[in-house]
Homo-oligomer: A and B are copies of this chain.
Amino acid sequence: MSAPDPTPLPVTPPDAPAPAPDDDDHLPTHGVADHSATRQAREQQVGQRPGTLIVREGALTPRLFLISYSTDHVVEQEYPHYDQLLAYFRAHPELRHWIDVRGYNDLALMQRLQDDFRIHPLQMEDVLGDYQRAKVEESEDGLFMVSRMTEFTRLLDINDDQLSIFTGPNYVLTFQDDYEDCLDAVRQRLRSSRSSIRRRSSLYLAYALTDVVLDHYYPTMAAIGDYLEVLEERIFQGRSDRRVLNRILHIKKDIVRFRRLVYPERDKIAEILRLPDEEIPEEIKVFFRDCYDHAIQALDLAESYRETVSSLIDLYMSDQSNRANEVMKVLTIISSIFIPLSFVVGLYGMNFQREGPDGRINHLNMPELYSPWGYVGVLSFMLVVVIGQLTFFYRKGWLSRR
C-alpha cells in the first residue's frame, strides 16, 4: 500500500493531452532501449541491391499537394492524380512550385517522380527508407537535403520524421511520410503577398522549410526542460522512487537521441555554407548562417540538459543513500535505547535465591529485589539512561529530520 501521491508528473508537449504519469506498466518498459524504425527499416534491406526502391511497411498512400507562386500570385491545390499535377507544373514554367508529396505507398508513382525530376536512384532510396541522417548532396537539378522533424510525444518519446527536399530551378519537391507536419507556418507565409518567400528563388523556400524544422526543435527541448524541472522538484520534495529514476533515464535517452538528430543537421548546414556560390548564392547563405546559429544553440541546450540529467542522477543516488541512512538511524536509536533496558530488566528477572538450600540467607544474591525502593530505583535508573541516550543522539543530530 502506497502513501498518497499528490503531484503527478505532468508533461506538456505542445498540442498534446496530458500524459499519464501513473501508467508505468508500459512506459518504463520502453524506457531505455531503442525501438527505432530506423533499425527495422535497415534490416529489411540486408543484401538488397543498392538503389532498389522499397517502400517501408506501413507507409501511407501518397497525397499530392502543389503550391504554385510568384510575387503576386499563389495557387494551392491537392491533386488526386499525379498527371494533373505534372501537367500544371509543366504548363507554368513562369511560376515557382512547391510539390509536396505526403506518403510513399505507391511504388509506381515514386518511380515516375524519380524519372520526371531526374532523381538519382540512391537518393530516392534515401527518401523512401525514411531513416536518413540529415545531409545535403548535389542532385541533378540543384540540391538534395534531408531534414529530420522532431516531435515530443505524450509518452515522453521523441518522434522524428524525415523531410526530403529536392530543389530545382523553379521548384521545390518535398517528400514526407505523414499527412500532418510542422510546415504550416511556411504555407501560411506563402499565402501572404508580403512574404519574402514569394519574392525570392526556390532555394529560399528550401531554406524556409529547413528553418521551420529547426524552429520545431525548440518546443521539443522546452518540453524536455519542463519535464526535467518537474522531476527535479519531485526529488527535492523527497518523493523520488524508482519511477523517477526510470523517467530520468528515459529523458536522458531522449536527449541523446536529440543530439544524434541535431549534430548531422548542424553539419549539413555547415556543408551548405561551404558550397560554392554558384550552387547557393551568398544572399541565401546569409540565411543559412542564421540556421547554423540556431542549430548550435539547440545543441548547447541539449548539452546543458545532459548536465542537468547527470545532476539529477547524483541527487537521486544521494537521496537513496540518505533514505537508507534514515532507516538505519531509526533502527539504531530504538535498538540502542531498548536493548540495554532489556538487559536491565532481564537482570532483575534472574532467579538467584536469597535462601540457599540450606536455609541460609545469601545477602549477596540480588538484595535489590528486597529493597522497598528497588523497583522505583530501577525505573529511575532506566529513565536516566534513556535521557542520556536521547541527549547523545540529539547532539549527533540524528533526531532532526535530515
Query: Which chain B residues border A365 with CB–CB below 8 Å?
Result: 372, 374-375
Interface of chain A residues 43 through 93 with chain B (CB within 8 A): 43, 45-51
Q: Does A387 contact B (CB under 8 A)?
A: no
Assuming A296-B133, A307-B253, is B335 touching A339 (CB within 8 A)? yes
Query: Which chain B residues border A34 with CB–CB below 8 Å?
Result: 225, 301, 304-305, 308
Contact of A317 among B47, B137, B318 (CB under 8 A): B318
Contact of A293 among B135, B242, B354, B399 (CB under 8 A): B135
Query: Which chain B residues border A311 with CB–CB below 8 Å?
Result: 32, 249, 252-253
Classify chain A's interface size.
Answer: 35 or more
Assuming A311-B249, A365-B375, is B320 touching A325 (CB within 8 A)? yes
Contact of A31 among B236, B307, B319 (CB under 8 A): B236
Query: Which chain B residues border A131 with CB–CB below 8 Å?
Result: 297
Query: Which chain B residues border A347 with CB–CB below 8 Å?
Result: 345
| Copies of this subunit | 5
Cβ of A229 and Cβ of B33 under 8 Å apart? Answer: yes
Cβ of A3 and Cβ of B394 under 8 Å apart? Answer: yes
Interface of chain A residues 138 through 176 with chain B (CB within 8 A): none
Q: Does A395 contact B (CB under 8 A)?
A: yes
Which residue of B has the minimal Cβ distance to A286? B122
Contact of A241 among B332, B357, B402 (CB under 8 A): B402
Interface of chain A residues 290 through 314 with chain B (CB within 8 A): 290, 293-294, 296-297, 300-301, 303-305, 307-308, 311-314
A36-B301, A341-B343 given. 15 additional CB < 8 A pairs?
A: A1-B394, A32-B315, A38-B297, A47-B186, A242-B319, A320-B321, A321-B321, A327-B328, A330-B332, A330-B336, A334-B335, A339-B342, A348-B350, A348-B351, A350-B351
Which residue of B has the minimal Cβ distance to A192? B49
Cβ of A352 and Cβ of B369 under 8 Å apart? Answer: yes
Question: Which of A49, A215, A228, A354 counts the most B-chain CB atoms under 10 A from its CB?
Answer: A49
Q: Does A329 contact B (CB under 8 A)?
A: yes
Assuming A2-B401, A330-B336, is B245 touching A315 (CB within 8 A)? yes
Q: Does A17 contact B (CB under 8 A)?
A: no
Interface of chain A residues 188 through 217 with chain B (CB within 8 A): 188-189, 195-197, 208, 211-212, 215-216
Query: Which chain B residues border A118 with CB–CB below 8 Å?
Result: none
Contact of A236 among B29, B47, B341, B345 (CB under 8 A): B29
Q: What are 17 A-B contacts with C-beta separation under 8 Å?
A: A33-B232, A33-B308, A39-B222, A43-B222, A45-B215, A47-B182, A47-B186, A48-B185, A50-B208, A131-B297, A245-B315, A253-B307, A334-B335, A345-B349, A348-B350, A350-B369, A351-B366
| C-alpha gap A395/B354 in the complex (Å) | 40
Query: Which chain B residues border A301 with CB–CB below 8 Å?
Result: 34, 36, 38-39
Assuming A304-B257, A372-B360, is B246 touching A236 (CB within 8 A)? yes
